[in-house]
Every structure is written in structure tokens, then in C-alpha cells.
């Protein structure tokens, strides 16, 4: 069932792009991300790079930023954290420049998720807090609340990690 859904969203995204409908192409690609077939990574990345090139040729900065975010999310699915972080940062630079606060906040959440996976909890917490603040300013209180839950979870996890490290050092657990 998952493979069928993947093909439908991804194939529909390619179809929209071939027919010149960039907005729907990007929208359908975003729907395809949860169903990405990890064995077909080259086709996803090549497709997104083709869309990115098109956006840059036509100076479509808003769409370029969303495609860069899609590239970041796609690389995240493939566990390519360096590439994922790079594309998320590039997308966020454009979002900040354009002043698109909703897209910026959503992009910050994706960046924070990747930072958590990479183990950079301190920066992850900062990014989550930035996203929560923007969602609060926009009146998107449900999204802010969801992020605050993530922040609480990460705070608890970070404290547990520090305590574990302290105990391991105190009792020289790593030395044996």
C-alpha cells in the first residue's frame, strides 16, 4: 500500500512539473516525502535538482526556498545529515530574506529535527524556541504548543544525558 501511495504522489508531482504547474508539483512532492522509497534516492534527488534549477533560472525565490527545504527533508529520509542541514540552512536564508514567517517557522522545525538526529541538542533547542516564538507571533498556538512539547521532551532528555555522563565519569565506567 505504501509503495502505491508513493508512486501516486511522486508521479503526480512529476506530471505537474512536466505540464508547467510548479506549485502543484512542489505540493505533491511534499506529500510524497513520507512515502519515499529509499532504494530510489537518485530519482528523487535528480527530480528536485531539476525543479531547483528551473526556479533559479526563472528567479522564483519563494518556490526555490520550498524546493531547498524538500531537498533537506529528502536527504534527511536518506540519513544524509550534512546535506540535509545544508539545504535547510539555504532554504531558511531565503525565507528570512523574503519575510515569509510561516515558511520560516516550518523550516526551522525541520532543521531542529535534523539537529536532534545529529545530536546537536543545544542548537536544536534554540531553533525549536525560535520556531515556537514565530508561531506564537502568527497566532498559530497549536503549532507553538506542539513545539513546546518537543522542547520539554528534549530538555528532559538532555538532563538525563548529563546525569548519565556525570555518573559514568564519577564511577569511571568508561575506563574498563
Give 96's pLDDT tier (boundaries 50, 70, 90): very high
Joined grid coordinates for residue 170: 564519577
Distance from the Cα of residue 21 to its chain's centroid: 23
Whether residue 71 has pLDDT greater than 60: yes
* 125-168 pLDDT per residue, tens: 999 999 999 999 999 999 999 999 999 998 887 766 655 565 66
Joined grid coordinates for residue 139: 497566532
Provide the 3-class DSSP secondary structure of residue 20. coil
Whether residue 18 has pLDDT greater than 90: yes
Helix H, strand E, coil C: the string for the chain is CHHHHHHHHHHHHHHHHHCCCHHHHHHHHHHHHHHCCHHHHHHHHHHHHHHHHHHHHCCCHHHHHHHHHHHHHHHHHCCCHHHHHHHHHHHHHHHHHHCCHHHHHHHHHHHHHHHHHHCCHHHHHHHHHHHHHHHHHCCCHHHHHHHHHHHHHHHHHHHHHHHHHHHHHHCCHHHC
How high is the mean pLDDT of the chain?
89
The Cβ-side half-sphere exposure at 156, using a 13 Å CA radius, reads 6
Q: Is domain 1-99 annotated with CATH 1.25.40.10?
A: yes
Q: How confident is the model at residue 4, as a pLDDT? A: 42
Rounded to 5°, the CA angle 117-122-127 comes to: 80
Choice among 50-59, 110-119, 139-148, 149-158 with the minimum mean pLDDT: 149-158
DSSP letters for 77-112:
HTT-HHHHHHHHHHHHHHHHHHT-HHHHHHHHHHHH
Percent of the chain with pLDDT over 70: 85
Amino acid at each position: 500500500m505504501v509503495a502505491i501511495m508513493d508512486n501516486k504522489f511522486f508521479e503526480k508531482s512529476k506530471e505537474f512539473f512536466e505540464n508547467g504547474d510548479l506549485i502543484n508539483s512542489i505540493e505533491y512532492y511534499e506529500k510524497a516525502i513520507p512515502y519515499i522509497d529509499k532504494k530510489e534516492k537518485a530519482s528523487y534527488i535528480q527530480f528536485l535538482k531539476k525543479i531547483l534549477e528551473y526556479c533559479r533560472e526563472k528567479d522564483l525565490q519563494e518556490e526555490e526556498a520550498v524546493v531547498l527545504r524538500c531537498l533537506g527533508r529528502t536527504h534527511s529520509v536518506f540519513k544524509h545529515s550534512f546535506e540535509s542541514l545544508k539545504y535547510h540552512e539555504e532554504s531558511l536564508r531565503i525565507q528570512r530574506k523574503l519575510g515569509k514567517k510561516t515558511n520560516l517557522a516550518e523550516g526551522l522545525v525541520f532543521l531542529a529535527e535534523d539537529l536532534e538526529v545529529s545530536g546537536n541538542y543545544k542548537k536544536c533547542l534554540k531553533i525549536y524556541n525560535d520556531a515556537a516564538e514565530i508561531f506564537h507571533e502568527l497566532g498559530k498556538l497549536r503549532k507553538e504548543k506542539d513545539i513546546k512539547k518537543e522542547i520539554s521532551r528534549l530538555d528532559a532528555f538532555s538532563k538525563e544525558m548529563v546525569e548519565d555522563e556525570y555518573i559514568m565519569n564519577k564511577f569511571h565506567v568508561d575506563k574498563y
